[in-house]
A and B are shown apart, each in its own frame.
Chain A
Amino acid sequence: MLTLSLFLIPLIAGLVLLNIKNKSLASSISLVVSFIQIAVFVYAFSVFKDNSALLTFDKPWLSDFAIRFHLGLDGLSLVMVGLTVVLVAIILLAIKNLNYENIPRLLGLILLTEAALVGVFSAKDIFLFYFFFELALVPVYLIANFWGGENSSKITFKMFVYTVFGSLFMLISFVLLYMRGQSADIESIKVTVSLLPNLIKQILFWGLLLAFSIKMPIFPFHTWLPDAYSKSPTPATMLLSGLLSKMGVYGLIRILLPFAPSGVQMYGEIIIILAVVGLVYGSIIAIKQNEIKRLIAYSSFAHMGLMAGAVLTLSVTGLQGAIFQMVAHGFNAVGLFYIAKIIFDKTGSRSLTTLGGMTQSAPVLTVMFMVVLLGSVALPLTNGFVGEFLMLKAVFDFNHVIGIVAGLSVVFGAVYMLRFFQKTMYGPSNDSTINITDIGAKEMMVLVPIVIVVLLTGVFPNLILDISGSFVNSLGVLNK
């Protein structure tokens, strides 16, 4: 029941918000809802170890087809749902103080996204998973469309079509599976996949892989991302980079690994190479980007590559690293895009060629930026380090050469992030940056929680690794 409430509360609140006009009422509702969500999550977390029955909800949905509305939380889901409820709360806090038209609807759509994400991360039935997987994109698409600037509808349409196209292969795979086994339950499918004929196994592997590769994205299916992230309005970008991209990694772990283990064994190396190519390629491109949202977009894409590579090493370290990094990257990406938005709102510019010297008038912003940056470049004792350390170790253990190539991203990451920092904060100030005001309480309400998460999970990563570990250790397909 707890899981169902985590899904229903934002759904209902979101639908309500879509249909009211009063801005302050909407803000209050969204705040209250996100606090309730966090409270429910904390309760769910506390009963996780000894009373997981409270966390499942299982009722027939399309009973003619034995498709069930089955939600549940295991270690992996718990981490992902936790990331969702906390990050959405932060995004809501950030959005309600930004200058957007029609804030109530914007908040409502964000809550609907949250509902869909909770659904994705807790679905125990393949069609339910597919349903939420697709549904999550709809509100984000609407946000990008209606709150974006010029060109944004064209660009977001491309993203929409591209990812829906990918998901189509997932649907085909699911239908195939269903027709074979007459079951849509993830756990029961896991048991029966090994009996499938070889051809079906192949189709399954490639179909599912394609769907998740486009969603994350993995090189070379990423070209929708730079435009979508940089041209979409900040709320959409935050949702996409912080949360929706994680559905792809989650899908790899939850669906691809157990459903197509033989394909993963056979072709894993190719995917790891592609992922690492994307990692280095994206990092190199980020080095010379002058538009800050585009820079973060490429950095985000690079990080996703390493997660995919780490998952496919099929090692405990790799999976733990990837799961941890999903959380870390979620917060860091949202933090960076928010800072980009602050910079833009204060200076009217997103171009590194025209910014500089902001630290002189905005020292507090500088400090906040620095901490998020450190998380992003994986400095030890920040959240980014734990994930990258584990993932790089996994890839290195898999293959030393690929591991060292992947390690280059540690260097390139420092190059582009410090360039970003230097060209905005350091150097002489100019007309656009000299008279800006520092950030105040409204921004701190968003940035301080992010900074706390960056440091807290960096110093005590076992808070997350313990939970995800309970899942990873029970996952049967890992290599020893």
Chain B
Amino acid sequence: MTPIALIPLFPLIGFLINGLGFGKISKSLVPIIGTGASLLSFACVLLAYLQFDGTPVVVNLFDWITVGDLNIKFAFQLDQLSLIMLFVITGVGTLIHLYSAGYMSHDEGYGKFFAYLNLFLFSMILLVLGANYLIMFIGWEGVGLCSYLLIGFWNKNTDYANAARKAFIMNRVGDLGFLVGIFLIIQTFGTLEYLEVFEKAKGFQIGDGIILAITFALFVGAMGKSAQIPLFTWLPDAMAGPTPVSALIHAATMVTSGIYMIVRSNVLYSLSPATLEFVAWIGLATALLGATIGLFQNDIKKVLAYSTVSQLGYMFLGLGVMAYSSGLFHVITHAFFKALLFLGAGSVIHAMSGDQDIRNMGGLWPKIKITAITFLVGTIAISGIPPFSGFFSKDEILAHVFEHNKLMWGLALLGSFMTAFYMFRLFFVTFKGNFRGTHEQEHHLHESPSSMTLPLIVLAALSIIGGAIGFPEIFHFPHKLNEFLSPIYEGSKLVNPEFGVIHIDHATEWILMGVSVLVAVVAIVFAFTVYGNGKNVPGSDESMSGIKKVVYDKYYIDELYNNVFVNPISSLSKFFGNVIDNKFIDGIVNNVGSLVNQTSAQVKRLQVGGTSSYLLFMTIGIILLLVYSLVPGLFESLKSVIK
């Protein structure tokens, strides 16, 4: 078997061992199996990369669904894009598995947790490694399932179980869009295999209506999976899951599926500028919405969750202006620094005996130094300060946006300002000043074990240097990522003359860079003046009023959805069930049937005997019937056999 097929196989085996052996495998072996599966998978990716010669490799395992002319293969495709995603998934994934070994060690569902994590890796690998849209869809729904299982990991708590259900259902709404996209692709191209679809797509004219429909439908799927407006409200709730899950699934990998999908389908999107414009605006709006809500949150994980929503918005903004590589670049750097921040938050929560409210923290810097320093690295990286990784990827997106639309650029910059502000607010309130928690918590404060701090250190290092894969052109270093990825944009170059064309001169680029650094610095200074001394602590929930309360309460979007969708459907369900079905339709049936019922009253008189007599009658009857009808026939056939 080729190493390509081994990449998803190891996590699948890990899932089966830890899943079937749950409760039977010793606790020390569980993380070795789980993390080992992930590590082996990473090793296979590395091997596949070393063997990769630049042309896409398609591995057909078997025909999955064959109906009429449609043959959907169970096949994998290894190319530049899937390799990049695989490195992120298995690399960051392995670190998070390692971290979980420490973080979850006191949980009674330890083995189950690792089984789920492995199942997630398997699904996520299918998502990026599939050679057609339906294999992507397996992964797409599979990661949704794992997300459900892991958000609801502590399902005794009804709120957590509700959060899990909400995530799954909202994703399903998006998945319906994805499915419609798949149907349209089959109708249009007669196949779902990437290579064939993209080859045929080159024959289409820019702005073609059917491509618009396909790209739009697929993007609906991305809205769900990658938490964009209007399907984003599940992601903050998803923080109910254990923190490693938030880092792996709800920050680094699963939520970036939508970005992967668009980059994968870049030919189609390049053919449809209207969809791209829509994607860009949705991304921008989500970036701003997430950032504003993040300004006032006091739950350490909620701040990071809204920050993720916001950063995903930036990625879509980048895709919307056809800066596909920049969007993907931000996926990579974001995977590093957001995984780092979440794992850091987990370490903080661990130290705080489970408390997540930053108003109860403060002064943690000297107590948990490794966590604090690495957290600071993540905070700087996300704020866009050079030379940390986040700066390069975000700056690249902003430069493309500037080229596309100055207003969008201005708004995006406003988002960057807020990002730097709320992240440093989070940092200062958590780590500076004096400790505000209980004595018991203070007594218990401790740095996390090395299985947890080691991933933090590795991720911090990656957050610092990760930008090196994509230096801006004006630095006169090679942009490794762009060079590597350029083959997958061959179609886009062909169909859309605007793709990859940059008009801004070097002077403008320097200025743009300077402006975005300046904005971040001002935001940090501002955050420092407000929260830097550690004295200014966010007020209690009750003290909030006016617009601030509206933003803090997430613009009441959840309430809106409840009133517009959830409650009406509940009422409809009861109305249909109790009135329409029971009274109306069945009422008619009963009336029509009353005639039959009258007749039946006569017939019922026959039903007086016991069970035995019925059964005996039945037996006799059937035998008689059979003998009467079959025996002559049987007789003849026997005769013919003898002859």
Query: A interface vs B, CB < 8 Å?
Result: 11, 15, 18-19, 59-62, 69, 102, 105, 108, 138, 142, 146, 157-158, 161-162, 165, 220-221, 223-224, 226, 281, 284-289, 298, 316-317, 320-321, 357, 359-360, 363, 374, 379-381, 386, 389-390, 392-393, 396-397, 403-404, 407-408, 410-411, 414-415, 418-419, 422, 425-429, 459-462, 465-466, 469, 473
Contacts and interface: CB of A to CB of B under 8 A. Distances in A.
Contact of B183 (A374, A380, A392): A392
Given A18-B615, A393-B183, A285 B577 contact: yes
13 contacts: A18-B615, A108-B615, A284-B569, A289-B577, A316-B68, A379-B142, A389-B65, A397-B183, A403-B183, A418-B165, A422-B155, A425-B155, A462-B66
Interface string B135-173: 001100110010010001001101001100100110011
Contact of A418 (B68, B169, B179, B623): B169
B187 A397 contact: yes
B200 to A, nearest CB: 19
Given A157-B600, A380-B142, A407 B593 contact: no
Contact of A226 (B186, B581, B611, B618): B581
B637 interface: yes
Contact of A15 (B162, B589, B619, B634): B619
B570 interface: yes
A137 to B, nearest CB: 13
Interface in B560-616: 569-570, 572-574, 576-577, 581-582, 585-586, 589, 593, 596-597, 600, 611, 614-616
A15 B622 contact: yes
Contact of A69 (B585, B616, B619, B630): B630
Between A15, A221, A459, the greatest number of chain B beta carbons within 10 A of the residue's beta carbon is seen for A15
A284 B65 contact: no
Given A379-B141, A426-B161, A427-B158, A288 B169 contact: no
B53 interface: no
Contact of A407 (B179, B574, B577, B586): B179
Interface in B625-643: 626, 629-630, 632-634, 636-637
A469 B585 contact: no
A462 B593 contact: no
Nearest to B577: A285
B433 to A, nearest CB: 38
Given A411-B172, A414-B169, 7 more contacts: A18-B618, A223-B585, A288-B570, A357-B156, A379-B142, A428-B158, A462-B64
5 A-B pairs closest in CB distance: A59-B633, A316-B68, A288-B573, A426-B155, A223-B586
B183 to A, nearest CB: 5
Contacts of A414: 168-169, 172
Nearest to A220: B585
Contacts of A462: 63-66
B176 A393 contact: no
Nearest to B139: A380
A287 B165 contact: no
A404 B65 contact: no
A396 B184 CA distance: 9
A286 B581 CA distance: 12
Main secondary structure of the interface of A (DSSP, over half): helix
Given A284-B576, A359-B155, A469 B67 contact: yes
A343 to B, nearest CB: 17
B281 to A, nearest CB: 24
B70 interface: yes
A361 B577 CA distance: 33
B550 to A, nearest CB: 29
B65 A461 contact: yes
A410 B179 contact: yes
Given A146-B611, A285-B581, A392-B179, A138 B156 contact: no
Interface in B3-23: 22-23
B266 to A, nearest CB: 24
Nearest to B623: A15
A408 B176 contact: yes
B183 A287 contact: no
B175 interface: yes
A142 B619 CA distance: 13
Contacts of A410: 172, 175-176, 179
A248 to B, nearest CB: 17
B40 interface: no
B232 to A, nearest CB: 17
A236 to B, nearest CB: 15
Nearest to A223: B586
Contacts of B577: 285, 288-289, 298
Given A418-B165, A422-B161, A426-B161, A161 B593 contact: yes
Contacts of A374: 145
A460 B66 CA distance: 10
B156 A223 contact: no
Chain A CB within 10 A, most for which of B65, B176, B585: B65
A392 B165 CA distance: 24
A104 B611 CA distance: 13
Contacts of A461: 64-65
B212 interface: no
Nearest to B599: A161
A162 to B, nearest CB: 7
Contact of A411 (B65, B67, B173, B582): B173
A116 to B, nearest CB: 10
Contacts of A357: 156
A419 B569 contact: no
B68 A320 contact: yes
Among B64, B66, B68, max chain A CB count under 10 A is at B68
Nearest to A60: B633
A161 B601 CA distance: 12
Contact of A426 (B156, B570, B630): B156
Given A397-B187, A410-B179, A18 B141 contact: no
B569 A287 contact: yes
Nearest to B186: A393
Given A285-B573, A288-B574, A465 B138 contact: no
Contacts of B629: 61-62, 69
Given A392-B179, A411-B169, A59 B636 contact: yes
- Most A CB within 10 A of own CB, among B137, B138, B581, B596: B581
B165 A419 contact: yes
Contacts of A15: 619, 622-623
B83 interface: no
B633 A69 contact: yes
Contact of A360 (B156, B569, B600, B626): B156
Nearest to A105: B615
B551 interface: no
Contacts of B585: 220, 223
A286 B585 CA distance: 17
Contacts of A465: 65-67
B468 interface: no
Given A157-B600, A465-B65, A162 B589 contact: yes
A287 B141 contact: no
B180 interface: yes
A427 B581 contact: no
A138 to B, nearest CB: 7
Contacts of A428: 156, 158
A223 B636 CA distance: 48
Contacts of A320: 67-68
A316 B626 CA distance: 38
B169 A381 contact: no
Contacts of B176: 404, 407-408, 410-411
